[in-house]
Chains A and B, each alone.
Chain A
Amino acid sequence: MIVVTQLPFVGTLVISFMRWNALDPGNRGFGGLSNYTAAFEDPTLRSSIETTVLLTATVVLVSLLLGLVLALLLDRRFRGRGIVRTMLITPFLVVPAASALLWKHAIYNASYGLLNGTLTWLWSLFGSAHAPQPDWLSTTPLLAVEASLIWQWTPFMMLILLAGLQSRPMDVVEAARVDGASTWQVFRYLTFPHLRRYLELASLLGSIYVVQNFDAVFTLTSGGLGTANLPYAVYRTFYQGHDYGQASAEGVLVVICTILLATFALRTVSSLLREES
């Protein structure tokens, strides 16, 4: 277990202190902190750190909020609930690479995508032939990536929160209702405290996966126009630049960022375990 999961990182750590570019094999050796200073002085890397933080925070928060609303809606009895739930989890099950292609070509495409097609259709209803046809991926690249990721991750949040809602002790809710509590009061003082650990679990798992997102950035924009996140930046230095030392230094930075996130997340999970034992 340790060998498989931790050894590669030790390798990364070692290589990060070396001068090692596959295109320049003669010049290999100990480089000290040069890779790190280069990484910190690289404005594109700095911007990719900002992008990672912004992308992860936006996607996790918005999909958490949407997921909560959807979970509350689905927690009620209504006709066809099973069908609606099935429709809602579909985005999570579509292969990420496929969903990235879907958004890029079938939805965002400026000349025949669904968004602009709908605009044309709407405008033609009112007799106008000049509907606005924005090129979504170049005018609002980061928003476009975020929207596709929110579409993909909202179902995940919804599923976890729905599980939380359905594990709520109903007798307490009934008792509160009999005592004349309003819907809002029931939510604020009973449902929400119960949901808290599910909200934390959902945001923890969501962050772990979204912070590492590669498929959407790679496919939708190829990291252009300020959408390159850290995983994509490392991929580019490694795969296109062949600068192994530099890529490793960047990888170490990714780990440091994730550790910050993980410390917070682990504290949350530890409260889950304590409750249990």
Chain B
Amino acid sequence: MTAATATTRASARRNGALLGLLAWFCGVLFFLPFAWMVLTSLHSESAAATNPPSVGAGLTLQGYREFFGAGTGVSPWPPLINSLTASVASTLLVLLLSIPAAYALSIRPVRKWTDVMFFFLSTRMLPAVAGLLPIYLIAQNAGMLDNIWLLVILYTSMNLPIAVWMMRSFLAEVPKEILEAASIDGAGLPTVLLRIVAPVAMPGIAATALISFIFSWNELLFARVLTGVVAGTAPVFLTGFVTSQGLFLAKVCAAAVCISVPVLVAGFAAQDKLVQGLSLGAVK
């Protein structure tokens, strides 16, 4: 009996080690394309485009120097600043609008709140292309084409529904007793929001902000159609990189790495919050 248990334990441990190894294998496999992009970006153009691939031959930062404008005179800073403006400003607006809305929907449920929630989510299901043309025409008439603030408005309205959904489930976790106690003590709505709700819901706010930032930073379709020379964002700059100067593999990879860095850093730093946010706070 004991011998049999020992054998099962040993085989269970062996299985566990094998599964761990399999997990490592999958992890490396999924990471490989990204690692390849980083490695290619560190090669000289001639070493990057070889077959079979050269690994680690003649590492250089030339691709990065050229991305930042050395020798080409094309600066990546305006599009990067445009992306930053659009993402940060729209994320702030999303938070400003979604917190009170979610507060109303979770803590003091308005009537038919499920219907309201569905309405919010349904707006996100409207494909972006279906609204593209009227938005283009409105922007044209309002003289807003190639203006970064147009993207700020659009990204805010795009991310707002998901943000309200996420914030609602996070705010629903704020204990009702504290809120009642506060309102008995005579605290007004702004005080309650700032002093009690905000600190408790901070992880949720961070997750919402992170996801709103990622989606704005990554957006390409609207940015491509509605911006031009002045207000082009980083993804637009990146796709234009190839066509305007022919293909320089190392430089394109360097550009792709640089443009992905803000999202990668934010995502790695806040992995747990990202999970919570993506599952719309369905995880308790």
Contact = CB atoms under 8 A, between A and B. Distances in A.
A6 B157 CA distance: 10
Contacts of A12: 130-131, 133-134
A183 B82 CA distance: 52
A95 interface: yes
Contacts of A185: none
Contact of A106 (B36, B118, B134, B137): B36
Interface stretch (B186-194, B198-206, B252-260): B252-260
Range, interface on chain B = 35 or more
A8 interface: yes
Given A88-B31, A163-B279, A201-B280, A94 B247 contact: no
B16 to A, nearest CB: 7
Range, interface on chain A = 35 or more
A103 B134 CA distance: 33
B126 A258 contact: yes
A248 B133 contact: yes
Given A95-B218, A96-B220, A9 B131 contact: yes
Nearest to A81: B23
B114 interface: yes
Contact of B221 (A105, A117, A214): A214
Interface stretch (B3-11, B64-72, B264-272): B264-272
Interface stretch (A33-41, A135-143, A150-158): A150-158
Contact of B23 (A8, A84, A124): A84
Given A102-B256, A214-B220, A87 B28 contact: yes
A205 interface: yes
A219 B239 contact: yes
A218 interface: yes
Interface in A41-71: 69-70
Nearest to A162: B275
Contacts of A247: 132-133
B249 A106 contact: yes
A97 B239 contact: yes
B218 A254 contact: no
Nearest to A214: B221
Nearest to B153: A4
B42 interface: no
Contacts of A259: 125
A15 B134 contact: yes
Given A15-B133, A244-B133, A163 B23 contact: no
A51 to B, nearest CB: 14
A41 B207 CA distance: 46
The 6 A-B residue pairs whose C-beta atoms are closest, nearest first, are: A11-B134, A78-B20, A8-B131, A98-B256, A84-B27, A87-B31
Interface of B: 16-17, 19-20, 22-24, 26-28, 30-31, 33-34, 36-37, 40, 48-53, 114, 117-118, 120-138, 153, 157, 160-161, 172, 214, 217-218, 220-221, 225, 234-235, 238-239, 242, 247, 249, 252-253, 255-257, 259-260, 263-264, 267-268, 271, 274-276, 278-280, 282-284
Given A97-B220, A205-B280, A208-B125, 8 more contacts: A8-B135, A11-B137, A70-B26, A84-B23, A106-B249, A121-B52, A163-B279, A247-B133
19 contacts: A1-B157, A8-B135, A10-B134, A11-B138, A87-B28, A88-B26, A98-B37, A98-B259, A99-B256, A106-B36, A106-B253, A112-B48, A121-B53, A214-B129, A239-B225, A251-B127, A258-B126, A259-B125, A262-B125
Interface of A: 1, 4-12, 15, 69-70, 73-74, 76, 78-81, 83-99, 101-103, 105-107, 111-112, 114, 116-118, 120-121, 124, 133, 151, 154-156, 159-160, 162-164, 166-167, 197-198, 201, 205, 208, 211-212, 214-215, 218-219, 230-231, 234-235, 238-239, 244, 247-248, 251-252, 254-255, 258-259, 261-262, 265-266, 269-270, 272-273, 276-277
